[in-house]
Amino acid sequence: MNIVLRNHSLELAPRPVGQGRAPRAKTRWAWLLVMLLSLFLGSTATASLPPTIKAGEVPDLGVSERLGEIVPLDAMLVDEQGKAVRFGDLVDKPVLLLFVYYRCPSICNPLMRELANNLDHLEGLEAGEDFTVITISFDPNETPEIAANTKNEILGTMEHPPKPAGWRFLTGTEETVRMLTESMGFKYAYDPETQTYLHATSLIFLSREGKIVRYLGGLSFLPAEIKLALFDAYNNQPRAFMGTFERFCYGEEPAGRSFVKTVNRVILGATGVLVIGLSFFLVLRKRRKGEEDSPAKTDASKSGSDEECDSEPDGEGK
């Protein structure tokens, strides 16, 4: 019997004479194959779609610091030469990491150029020897070829470019990159109206164990700030305080090219200001007290002499 649709209802119809079950079985297998292919292609297309801003939606951007957390070291990425690399295999020394997308029309290129300029003036430390710089694109449509071209462009601006292994330019799937960005608190979103990504900028520092230890936000840095962050990465020490006073709280030993804490500078300076201010206050207070006491003494001596003069005639009359 065959099932047919008549007048919006299902009815059983006799199978034509001589019709076997083979065509029906073939049809089932064909439909099953089509469904499997549709599911596979649909999941692949969905995985490559970036987070998209909807109309009227305010995107949640910025960086949420995840200090002390371990990043996914088993994440698989693709390097500039098109070779698959395990992220943890690149974290064999302190890492300076930044998320960008290579075809960014705004802040990504200036960020990488600013970092390149700082690396040129980073005395005593060398990328590839003491630490590794890793740039990861969060655009899943960018290819290793685009990454290689960006690498050549950025390293071409440097006076002392590092070895090829010193600064890596990587790409990856949406799923892998999303896993890495979420683990480090980096947020971004795709704007279909402008066909660009909206995102913040930040340098993220990892220890050789893959622990997040520092963040440096903005588009302008100092070599000293980067060296301080790398110092924390060497010591596997997360640090959230990034005030301007840290430049005064740390100094550099020229002999060892290492940073030492020189809080005594701050203490000495504060103590000096306090002593000078207190001395000035005491001197001023003493002067004012002397000026107030001087008229009082004059009036007292004058009134005393008048009383003596008045008492003398009374004594003679008696």
Digit-coded pLDDT (tens) for 269-310: 556 667 787 777 777 777 776 666 665 555 555 555 555 555
Neighbours of 206 (CB within 10 A): 26
Q: Which two tokens stand for residue 29?
A: 């297998």
pLDDT < 70 regions, the chain:
1-60, 240-273, 289-318
pTM exceeds cut of 0.75? no
Q: What is the reported pLDDT for 5? A: 40
Q: What is the reported pLDDT for 13? A: 47
- The stretches of 139-216 forming alpha helices (DSSP H) are 144-155, 174-183
CATH superfamily entry for domain 62-235: Glutaredoxin (3.40.30.10)
Residues with Cβ within 8 Å of 191's Cβ and at least 6 positions away in sequence, in order, are: 52, 53, 197, 198
Backbone angles phi, psi at 253, to 5 degrees: -85, 110
Q: Distance between CA 231 and CA 213 in Å, rounded?
A: 10
Nearest Cα to Cα of residue 242 among 210, 203, 188, 209: 203
User: Which pLDDT tens digit goes with each residue over 225-264?
Assistant: 999 999 999 998 887 655 434 444 444 443 333 444 444 4
Q: Are 85 and 79 in contact (CB under 8 A)?
A: yes
Q: Are 215 and 96 in contact (CB under 8 A)?
A: no
Beta strands in the chain (DSSP E): 2-6, 9-13, 62-63, 76-78, 84-86, 95-100, 132-137, 167-170, 186-191, 196-199, 202-206, 212-217, 250-253, 258-261
